Structure 1
């Protein structure tokens, strides 16, 4: 089976395509000073660009794992942006957890698995 890797370096690939499925690495915002809402918005914009590059879109997302720096303070803010971003009737399976992210400025990281259109 063919595995296609895009935006690959020695440590990871931003996109991996295999057997009709697209896997995105954990995506984060570029602006570490932003609120959870701003970082979620920027992260979702990055995800849309990667999905487009992979040949799919957010209507084909199968699963999302959302990592929050502080679930008590950031969960509602992240959900306000998420709920507006997810297409009606296309909500993926989702898990949201609190995690110590690799830089203290990051409030949100999102990992995505999506299907390629038929």
Structure 2
């Protein structure tokens, strides 16, 4: 079974496709914006990457969400809930973690099926 990698750089690929499964690297928002803006940006990036891979948010299998501070959980969930309101949501985990840049508040990784 082939492995296809897209948007590949020296450190990682943004998209990896193996069979009928799409794996996205962790997506982050713009530094120095609030949790709501960062979450919206991340979800837009995810939708664009899924489209490039031949999938969509309707085919999400799982999501892992890392927050810099769990005090942002409700605000992030407000954006997330609006994003998944018209689909059956995926399996999901959410935790607190130190992220790659001090101004990053959220990072989301996605696994999805190709329809």
Q: TM-score, normalised by structure 2?
A: 0.97
Unmatched runs of 5 consecutive residues or more in structure 1: none
Measured in 2, the distance between the counterparts of 1:26 and 1:89 equals 22
Measured in 1, the distance between the counterparts of 2:64 and 2:84 equals 14
- Structure 1 residues 50 and 68: alpha-carbon distance in aligned structure 2, compared to 1, 3 A threshold: same
**Counterpart contact for 1:58–1:87, Cα < 8 Å:** no
| CA drift at 1:9 | 1.2
Unmatched runs of 5 consecutive residues or more in structure 2: none
In the comparison of the two structures, how many residue pairs are matched?
115
Tell me the residue number matched to 1:65: 64
Tell me the residue number matched to 1:102: 100
Q: Aligned runs of 1:3-14 on 2, under 5 Å?
A: 3-14=3-14
Tell me the residue number matched to 1:19: 19
Q: Aligned runs of 1:29-48 on 2, under 5 Å?
A: 29=29, 31-48=30-47
Q: Deviations over 1:28-74 (max 9, x none)?
A: 01x21111111000100000000000011000000000000001x21
